[in-house]
Structure formats: structure tokens, C-alpha cells
Amino acid sequence: MYFGLFDPTVILIIPAIIFAMWAQGKVQNTFNKYSKIMNARGMTGAEAARLILDRNGLRNVRIQHISGSLTDNFDPRTNVVSLSDATYASNSIGAIGVAAHECGHAVQYATGYTPIRVRNGIYPVVNFCSKLSMPIILIGFILTAFGGIAPLIIDFGILLYCATVLFQLVTLPVEFNASNRALKTLESYNMLTGNELDGAKKVLSAAAMTYVAAAFSAIMTLLRLILISRNSRRD
């Protein structure tokens, strides 16, 4: 039986780890580069966010400053766009791109964008399943030596983990759409032009790769769990 971290199936997650490390390094390097290039209008991330929200009729959405770097987010429960240290008061191209992306999420909620509604709807279930899946799978492997229903326990845990994979896949169109909305908004409002717009696009494209890496990692982990389960049945 293949059991533990050091089995042949571990090779499946190595590409996922490498991809994730590359994506994280890519977004950090790209953002760092364009956080040093100021936009011609001198607009800060907070000012850009306010303009985008107001022009989309979202004056009820607040903007606040939070600590950290690239911790920017939109919380639909409080209707707040939170911008990090590197975004809120910065007038860099990178800051404008990130701020516009988060406003893109606010617009998605306001317009009833289907993928984000689906993601919102399944989140409580996914959160519950993700907390239980690995412990259940581990218990199943421990009980495998005793036979009986152990394989069924493993299968149940894998089924629960599928919810995590589904969530990561649904997240992809949500994030790509928010970036596309951001770039179109920045161009149509003449907030960024020419090379500035290209820089913002590179920042958002790099950020999108982190979500692709997360989805790829979830898929490869699922495949690994399935293979380990099958191997345990043969032994």
C-alpha cells in the first residue's frame, strides 16, 4: 500500500508546487515593478476606486485602508472595498490596476454576475467540506489495515474534497472577469492610457495566474488522492 507523503504519487503535486511558487513570484515581481511607475494623472488607488464605484452607481460601497501588501479585497457582506498599504494612497500603475480589479468584484455583485453568485452560494458548503475532507481521508487510510468500510470512508472524504476543486474552478471566471472589467473601465474612463494600461494588464494577468495555480493544485491533489485510494484497494 502507498501511504504517507513519500509514495510514487507525490510526483503529481510537484508540478503544482512549482507552478504555485512561480505564480506567486511572478505577481510579486510584476506588482513591485509597476508600483514604482506613477500614473500620469497622479490618481491614487483610493481615488480610482471611488471614481469607478460612483460611475457604476455604487456610492453605497465604502472604501477603507487595510494593512499589508496585496491584501486588497471586496467584502459583499459589508459592502466595503479594502485597499492595502501598497494600493490605497499609492498613485502607481500597479495600485490603480489592483483597485480597479476589486471594484470589478463590487460591480459583479451589483449586476448579479452568475459565477460570483454561484461561488457565494456554494461557499458555506465548500468551507464545511474542506475542513472535514482530509481528516476523514486520513481516518480511512488508518482503518484500511482493518478492512471493512475503510475504502468507503476514503471515498467519502475524496467526495468532500471535490467541493474544494469545484470552488477553485468557479473562482477562475470570477477573477478573470473582474480583471477584464477593470481594464475596460480604466480605458473607457481614460484613467490609464497606452503603456500605463499595458502595465496594469500585466499586473492583473500575473495575479490571475495565482488562481490558475490554486485550481491546478486542487485538481492534482484530487488525482493523487484517487490514485492512493485505488492502490490501497489492491494491497
Looking at residue 62, the DSSP 8-state letter turns out to be E
Which helix (DSSP H) or strand (DSSP E) does residue 77 occupy?
none
CB contact at 8 A, 191 and 43: yes
At 37, the amino acid letter reads: I
Residue 230 makes CB contacts below 8 A (sequence gap 6+) with none
102 is catalytic: yes
Residue 184 makes CB contacts below 8 A (sequence gap 6+) with none
User: What ranges in the chain are assigned the alpha helix state H?
Assistant: 13-34, 45-55, 93-111, 114-143, 150-188, 195-234
- Give the Cα separation of 86 and 68 in Å (integer): 8
SS3 89: coil
Which grid cell sits at 14? 510537484
The single residue of 102, 175, 187, 196 carrying the catalytic annotation is 102
**Residues labelled catalytic:** 102
